Amino acid sequence: MQLHVFNTREEMGNAAGKAVEERILTVLEKKDYLRMVFAAAPSQNEFLKYLRNSKLIPWEKVVAFHMDEYLGLLPEDQALFSNFLKRNLFDHCNFKDVFIIEGNKNTEDEIARYTRLINESPIDIVCLGIGENGHIAFNDPPVADFNDPNTIKIVELDLACRQQQVNDACFPSIEEVPTHALSLTIPALLETDYLCCVVPGPNKKQALESTLTGPIDTSCPASILKLHWQCDLFTDRAAYPENLPWKETKYDLLQDIENGSFQLNNDKGRFTPVRFYPPDQIKEKIPFFGPGLIDLQVNGVNGVDFNDASLSISDIEKSVEYLLTIGVTGFLPTLITNEKGIILKILDTITQACEINPLVDSCILGVHLEGPFISNLDGARGAHNPKFIQEPSWELLQEFQKAAKGRIKLLTLAPELEGAIDLIKKCKESGIQIAIGHSYATYPKIKEAVEAGARLSTHLGNAVPLTLPRHPNILWDQLAMEGLYASLVADGFHLDDSFLKTVIKVKCEKSFLISDSTLFTGMPPGEYKAHIGDEVVLEENGRLSLKHGKGLLAGASKNLREGVEYLVKSGITDLSSAWKMATSYPVKFLALNDSNQTLKEDWVIFNFEEGKIKVMRVIKNGQVVFSSD
């Protein structure tokens, strides 16, 4: 909104009239005619006078509408807004067409007729005012709706609105002011390329102050004007508040990455839906917002290794802080096959960190045990140390769960191992999700595992032999199993694009992204020693592999946000679909919406420029926890 303050009402009206005059001429350089909506009120007198006296405006190229009308008055009643506009403008100028709201006709028919007329093509200019109660048109605070699905509707006028009509000398007493009217809705008014708002007089001082400095909400409907992409507000000194108490409150118009709708966001992380749609050239510059990223497989990140016995509480806090900066608001620390005592120690450390730090506790959604109940065979074993691989044991898992104080939420195992099916059944009963991974299982065993309660294929396409039978094989068998979700590492190294496309097409909303990140995520290229007992090589392009493992991957060095970027860059999905694969789909798999209400207050606000997601703000539990500012 651009604010223009003048010493007198006449100066204000002339300036507003000239601005609209120039806008009309500019629009008509590109169009044969334009469509305008006018407000009807004494506050518009000086502005309308300028327009009707203009020698430059070709009114024969203008189609006119007005924005509200009383119900129940006779057509000849001079208080009707249509008659006000006829006296002050319509009867003075040769318009191409004038469409008035007829409040004495059948209301449903009139709403249908005027809705059809307004929606025939875009409105180019809206000329409006602000009521003493902050209304625009007759959208008083009790009935105002920034997300109103209607174009025009019946409204009941509140007491302040009716009193204004008496103050404006339109009626001799409040008893004679109609109680109901037809009004264009807020979205109908704001879906225009240009707004000219004229607000004079001392009676408008409080409404103007609320509009300019108050929160953007329906307690002052005109406050929404601050976010319009091209709104000029003209006022005079009598209406302009002295010592205006400007407040440092930030509001954004944002686009929902999941459905394309628009919402308002204030600096407290609250969102308000709005239905008006900005022009395409403006829309491209509006930041996105979406749920926080959810990563169900994080082995480590930014120098922190969740599989190192020396893991400390401060390490976990450091990892949480880093993940929040990239938009990950929830994750599962992932512990791979290791010595029993080390796993117990790490689980105890994670538990302590969650109990001490509420932010850590809200970000760690549980623990993912990837092993030790996996195949010991080459290819399926991957980078897991064979020395610590074990047969499935409910007793051992219970020992781990006790150390985690119930935080183990996901277990990856090989279902072909003896005792695996019984373990799956017990896990299902205790609320632990089961994933198939690092396995040589055949289709009958996979089917048996799914029937017992397995619901996920861990990093499908990886931790399998380099060569497989044409068919059947463990990849096709898992793809064919409808009950299985599939987690995917989309970093350009773990999987070919064709395989990613195939899995996503087959699994649809049952496919989601994981990072499988390691402590090397975010670190410079080079050779490093890892806890798995081998050296790893981090290449310039981000590929992470075992130095002596014949090119075998040793996890990933890219984060979940980069996985989203890769899907878009490769043309595998669009940005909206990729974001869902890193947010709502993994949440649905773990049924987190039912057990973790705070996720509903986790948001990421970001720009998408040149194929890169640039995180602007991260909101966790309704609080801003990261800002690029």
- 284 within a domain of the structure (yes/no): no
Decide if 54 is inside a domain: yes
Burial label for 474, CB within 10 Å (0-12, 13-18, 19+), is buried
Cα–Cα nearest to 516, from 458, 437, 567, 596 = 458
R_g (Cα) of the chain, nearest Å: 32
Residue 452 domain flag: yes
Strand order through the sheet with 180-184:
68-70, 180-184, 152-156
Phi-psi region of 324 (alpha: psi -120 to 50; beta: other; left: phi over 0): alpha
Q: What is the pLDDT of residues 62-109, one digit of tens each?
A: 999 999 999 999 999 999 999 999 999 999 999 999 999 999 999 999
Please report the pLDDT score of residue 267 as a whole number: 59
d(CA 198, CA 44) in angstroms, rounded, equals 7
- The verdict on 299 and 214 lying in the same domain is no
422 and 488 in a single domain? The answer is: yes
Residues 484 and 375 in one domain: yes
Q: What's the CATH code of the domain at 406?
A: 3.20.20.140
Residues 341 and 234 in one domain: no
In one-letter notation, the amino acid at residue 552 is L
Q: Is residue 159 part of a domain?
A: yes
Identify the domain boundary among 210, 241, 272.
Answer: 241
Q: What is the pLDDT of residue 14?
A: 98
For residues 525 and 463, state if they share a domain.
yes
pLDDT attached to residue 592: 72
Q: Same domain, yes or no, for 307 and 223?
A: no
Residue 209: the pLDDT is: 92
Pick the catalytic residue from 516, 574, 594, 629.
516
Is 140 within the bounds of a domain? yes
Which pLDDT value is given to residue 245? 61
Q: Which two tokens stand for residue 428?
A: 């299902």
Structural domain contains residue 277: no
Helices 394-404 & 420-430 angle (0-180, nearest 10) = 30
Instruction: Please give the residue range of the domain that contains residue 173.
Output: 2-241
Nearest CA among 366, 347, 361, 348 for reference residue 317: 361
Cis peptide before 472 (omega within 30 of 0): yes
Are 139 and 183 contacting, i.e. CB atoms less than 8 angstroms apart? yes
Q: Which of 223, 241, 259 is the last residue of a domain?
A: 241
Per-residue CA distances from 609 to 329, 568, 606 (Å): 22, 12, 10
For the stretch 507-532, pLDDT in tens is: 999 999 999 999 999 888 988 877 55
Q: Could you identify the residue written with the tokens 């059944």?
A: 425
319 and 230 in one domain? no
516 part of the active site: yes
Do 406 and 495 have their domain in common? yes
What totals of helices (H) and strands (E) does the chain contain, helices first? Answer: 20, 30
Q: Number of folded domains in the chain?
A: 2
**270 falls within a domain:** no
Tell me: do 204 and 299 sit in the same domain: no
The confidence score (pLDDT) of residue 440 equals 94
Which run of H or E residues covers position 504? helix 497-507
Classify the C-alpha dihedral 342-344-346-348 as positive or negative: negative
- Domain holding 234: CATH number? 3.40.50.1360
Q: CA–CA distance from 60 to each of 66, 526, 536 (Å)?
A: 17, 73, 76
Q: Could you say which residues of the chain have pLDDT below 50? A: none
Give dist(CA 275, CA 158) in Å, integer: 24
Residue pair 415/449 in contact by the 8 Å Cβ criterion = yes
Residue 437 sits in the same domain as residue 375:
yes
Contact indicator for 244, 255 with CB cutoff of 8 Å: no
Residues 87 and 226 in one domain: yes
Residue 248: inside a domain: no
C-alpha 82/C-alpha 130 separation (Å) is: 18
Contact status, residue 104 vs residue 73, Cβ threshold 8 Å = yes
Rounded to the nearest 5°, which phi and psi values hold at 492?
Answer: 90, -5
Q: Which residue has the tokens 């068919």?
A: 471
Last residue in a domain, options 221, 241, 261: 241
- Give the per-residue pLDDT at 266: 67
Neighbours of 383 (CB within 10 A): 23
Start-to-end Cα distance in the chain: 23
- Beta-bridge partners for 406: none
Q: What gap in Å lies between CA 130 and CA 407, rounded to an integer? A: 55
Q: Let me know whether 223 and 339 are in one domain.
A: no
pLDDT given at position 534: 73
CB 196 within 8 A of CB 232: yes
**Nearest-angstrom CA–CA distance, 71 and 181:** 5
Question: Is the backbone peptide bond immediately before 372 cis, with ω within 30 degrees of 0?
Answer: yes
